[in-house]
Amino acid sequence: MENGLLMGGAVLENQNNNNTNVTNLDIGDNIFIWQVTNGTCPIINQQVTIANLLPITDAGEDQDICELISTLEGEDPIAGTGTWTTENGASINEPNSPTTAVENLAVGDNILVWTVISDSCPTNYDTLYIHTDNQAPVFQALPEVFEDCEYIANTPIATDNCDGVIYATTSDPTSLTEQGVYTINWIYTDGNGNESSQVQNIKIEDIINPEIKCINDTTILLDTINYPNTIYTTLGNEFDFLQATDNCIVEEIINNYNNTETIYPEQFASGTHLVNWTIIDGVSLEKSCSYEITIGIDYRDFRDCDEDGIPNYADEDHCVVVPEGFSPEGNGQNDVLIIDELELYPENKIVIFNRWGNKVYEASPYESNWDGTNMFGTTIGKDKLPVGTYFYILYLNETYKPLRGYIYLIR
């Protein structure tokens, strides 16, 4: 009987024993021949093949992922112990488990090795490549901003291949209320820390003038009764500007009389007064408007001499009473013809005639000072008129009919 190794480098402990140990098997197929001989009987050969296979070492499919964590899915070895290793700094939860979580992966490429060590087999390994997202978010160009007064920035967005919409962040002020030129640095950061950035330019410049609207030119007539000094004091806001606006902010509104926002309680004497208003905005742009206030004298009589509720100037009934006579004797009593209330009619006129119809006196206006002298000729005692009855015509104004009557002159 002969037994032996047909192929391979294995060593049989006892090749003539049908039950023996075999060592030093080669990797792969080891073929043995078991041969039986018995005298003149035919030789019987039986071939035995021992396949010595390496442990399976499979680290799993390479990965292309978004996050910095994943699950390793290596193959569990038939023999020996497997161990995960990496030089990229990732944290492997269970290094000796073929399927385990891995954290803190680097952004970009990561290399992990699944190594199997067996006492009876050579060390074997397989390499796993994990690529994590390292693409920065993609943004659209931001337009330059031009504003008059202020600008409150809207947060721009970018798109990311993994996280979708990314909202920008910035450490710069986003609420801008002062005039000037600004830049906002926007930063877009995805879940893996991939960043992109852009600069937005903002200019705040107010170039629009404010607006102010004034009242129309105004005329006020003062009657001499209620305004004996012919000075008018403004009432409330009657002479103030009508409207003042600015696209940003009104800093100041002043007038040329008291540098405030109201004319009240300024006083205006008779005559024409120019009132100028100026509005000034927050960047010293200004606009002005003006108007004239004319204070006139209304000589109409606003008194009510007959107390009928109608002012004298509008009353058909007058209050003028011409005395029936006077005595210009020079004694200081009743020496002149005094007509009461005539001062209410400054347009008055008086003409006096003698009994023959000759004009002896005329005055316009009459100031209650006729002392019985003749203005148009010579009589007794030079120009003194004689005792007698005289006829008068008194014109008050265009409203009233002339007053006619007789005056008796006594000496």
What pLDDT is stored for residue 6 in this prediction? Answer: 57
Strand partners, 293: 218, 273
Cα 278 from chain centroid? Answer: 23
Residue with tokens 């193959």: 75
CA gap 351, 281 in Å, rounded: 67
Tokens of 93: 């939860």
Tokens of 320: 């003028």
Cα–Cα–Cα angle for 10, 15, 18, rounded to 5 degrees: 115
- pTM for the structure as a whole: 0.60
Q: Determine phi and psi for 59, rounding to 5 degrees.
A: -85, 0
- Domains of the chain are 3-52 (no CATH), 63-132 (2.60.40.10), 145-204 (no CATH), 211-298 (2.60.40), 318-411 (2.60.40)
SS3 content of the chain, % helix, strand, coil (to 5): 0, 45, 55
Q: What is the pLDDT along the chain (411 residues), one digit of tens a residue?
A: 455 555 667 888 888 888 888 888 777 788 888 888 877 788 888 888 877 666 668 999 999 999 999 999 999 988 789 999 999 899 999 999 999 999 999 999 999 999 999 876 788 999 999 999 999 999 999 999 999 999 999 999 999 999 999 999 999 999 999 999 999 999 999 999 999 999 999 999 999 999 999 999 999 999 887 788 889 999 999 999 999 999 999 999 999 999 999 999 999 999 999 999 999 999 999 999 999 999 998 877 677 777 888 887 777 777 888 999 999 988 889 999 999 888 878 899 999 999 999 999 999 999 999 999 999 876 555 689 999 999 999 999 887 889 999 999 998
- Which residues, including other chains, have CB under 8 Å from residue 215's CB and lie 6 or more apart? 239, 241, 242, 291
